[in-house]
Amino acid sequence: MGLKFQAPRGTRDLLPDEIARWQWVEARAREVLGRYRYREIRTPIFEEFELFARTSGESSDVVQKEMYRFKDLGDRDLALRPENTAGVGRAYLEHGLAGQGRVHRLWYLGPMFRYGRPQKGRYRQFWQVGAEIIGTPAPGADVEMINLFVDLFEAWGFRDLVVAMNSVGTPASRRAYGDQLRAWLQPVSDRLGPDSQRRLEENPLRVLDTKDPRDHEAMKSLSAPMPRMLDSLDAESAAHWQAVLAGLDASGIRHELDHGLVRGLDYYTRTAFEVHDRSLGAQSALGGGGRYDGLIESLGGPSTPGVGFSIGLDRVVLVLEQRGFTPPETERSVYVVAMDATRSAAASLVRELRREFAVDADLEARAIGAQMKAADKSGARLAIILGEDEGKRGEVTLRDLAAGTQEVVKRERLIEALRARLKPENAETT
């Protein structure tokens, strides 16, 4: 008989063995974000559908094909969030954050939902960590964003990252570029997939964003070189672009041009960036971001510049797993072993120790041999054995489970002895 229930297609259970890696990745992210002095924001995982339709563009894949859209019992038109920048922008406006400081540096971490075709590295529920700077058009904000982006990856042990960069200009300069792209693609228009044929009219930049192999084939066959957005930038966007590149050079960030990088969403302006890891195969994008000066205004707010990124944590964890990375054991953990005569002393000791150390103990009043086996298996560093005779003398046995050595210590000096032997380790980077 088959199982009656399974996790919905495209979703996964993260079991305790995998969670260690996730917690490590999240903890490193929080450390780095804290050192950059960004502040966390948590917004709902569902919002009005219209919010996403407005910010992502009605014609985008995300809105047309990938949205978890539903009516609640009050007949509200809602959707699970496919990304979090729209929610952050909405919260920024709703709570008047503009009145509480000119520039806001924010971060978030949480699940996002897209109804895509599941495959390695692509899920219907996936996790992103992201950051936003809202309130300044300065190129310095783009530079700081990319510094933070790279430093997160470095904290996770990624080395030699090269950030792919482009500028998508402003909506006005993009229109001129769109015309050039349309003309460039015209000779192969009938060989493009149906989505791209439609986009060629509506928004030719999206054709560059395509995942359809037919489109890539068609574009490769063109003899004329692809027109470049950078050649169509307005003067201000060009100056901004140069300032961002200079800032990245000054802070030692490796980057390269990617003229095909256009980002799928309508609200992006100027800087666009991305990193890939080829070991992931088809779903190689680890994260990306850019400037979105049009977003807040599109939500009905005053014109407010912003820049941000998001990183797919499932893919980060997947790369770490492929590399065989397991987080360093930092737990200060012990296993308390008791006998019948010391069981009640053990109960109070366990509770006391748990104020400071990670403590495991038997739940089933098993024989000492079974408890020692469990202690070995638990991964604890030390076992505290409460023997009957020692107990009468006010002593306990401390056993180093890895070395197999043991010593007797006075009960009142136990905490001190544990502190000396279980110094918190610095989590090391790979």
Compare residues 29 and 286 and give the one whose CB is closer to ligand AMP. 286
Closer Cβ to ligand AMP, 116 or 294, answer by number = 116
Pairing of strands 333-338, 358-361: parallel
How many angstroms separate the CA atoms of 87 and 48, rounded?
10
CB of 76 to ligand AMP, least distance (A): 25
Residue nearer to ligand AMP on the CB measure, 162 or 246? 162
Give the C-alpha separation, 200 to 147, whole Å: 35
CB of residue 14 vs ligand AMP: minimum separation in angstroms?
13
CB of 149 to ligand AMP, least distance (A): 11
The CB-of-11 to ligand AMP minimum distance in angstroms stands at 11
Task: Name the minimum Å distance from CB 34 to ligand AMP.
Answer: 22
> Which of residues 105 and 315 has its CB atom nearest to ligand AMP in the complex?
315
What residues contact 302, with CB distance under 8 A and at least 6 apart? 98, 296
* Residue among 69 and 122 whose Cβ is closer to ligand AMP: 122
- Residue 90 or 114: the one with the smaller Cβ distance to ligand AMP is 114
Other Cβ atoms less than 10 A from the Cβ of 79: the count is 20
Q: Which residues bind ligand AMP (CB under 6 A)?
A: 83, 114, 116, 121-123, 126, 128, 285-288, 310, 312, 314-315
Q: Which is nearer to ligand AMP, 218 or 280 (CB)?
A: 280
Rounded (5°) CA angle 84-314-159: 105
Nearer to ligand AMP, 148 or 383 (CB): 148
Nearest approach, Cβ of residue 4 and ligand AMP (Å) = 27
Distance of CA 65 to the CA centre of its chain: 23
State the residue number with the nearest CB to ligand AMP.
Answer: 312
Closer to ligand AMP at the Cβ: 211 or 377? 211
Rounded to an integer, what distance in angstroms lies between the CA atom of residue 132 and that of residue 291?
9
User: For 374-394, b where at least 16 C-beta lie within 10 A, e where not — what string?
Assistant: bbeebebbbbbbbbeebbeee
Q: Which two tokens stand for residue 97?
A: 């954050």
Looking at the Cβ atoms of 85 and 304, the one nearer to ligand AMP is 85
Least distance (Å) between residue 328 CB and ligand AMP: 25
Calpha distance 209→227 (Å, rounded): 15
CB of 202 to ligand AMP, least distance (A): 20
Shortest Å, Cβ 299 to ligand AMP: 18
Who's near 328: CB < 8 A, 6+ residues apart? 425, 427, 428
CB of 287 to ligand AMP, least distance (A): 5
Of the candidates 379, 377, 310, the residue with the CA atom closest to the CA atom of residue 20? 379
| Contact (Cβ atoms closer than 8 angstroms) between residue 168 and residue 263 | yes
Q: 35: Cβ–Cβ under 8 A, 6 or more apart, which residues? A: none
Angle, in degrees to the nearest 10, between helices 235-250 and 139-155 = 40
Please give the C-alpha separations between residue 256 and each of 162, 240, 253, 264, 268, in angstroms, as whole numbers. 7, 17, 10, 20, 19
Amino acid at residue number 399: R
Do 20 and 321 touch, CB atoms closer than 8 A? no
Q: With 0-12 CB in 10 A as exposed, 13-18 as middle and 19+ as buried, what is 399?
A: buried
At 252, list the tokens.
Answer: 């030692």
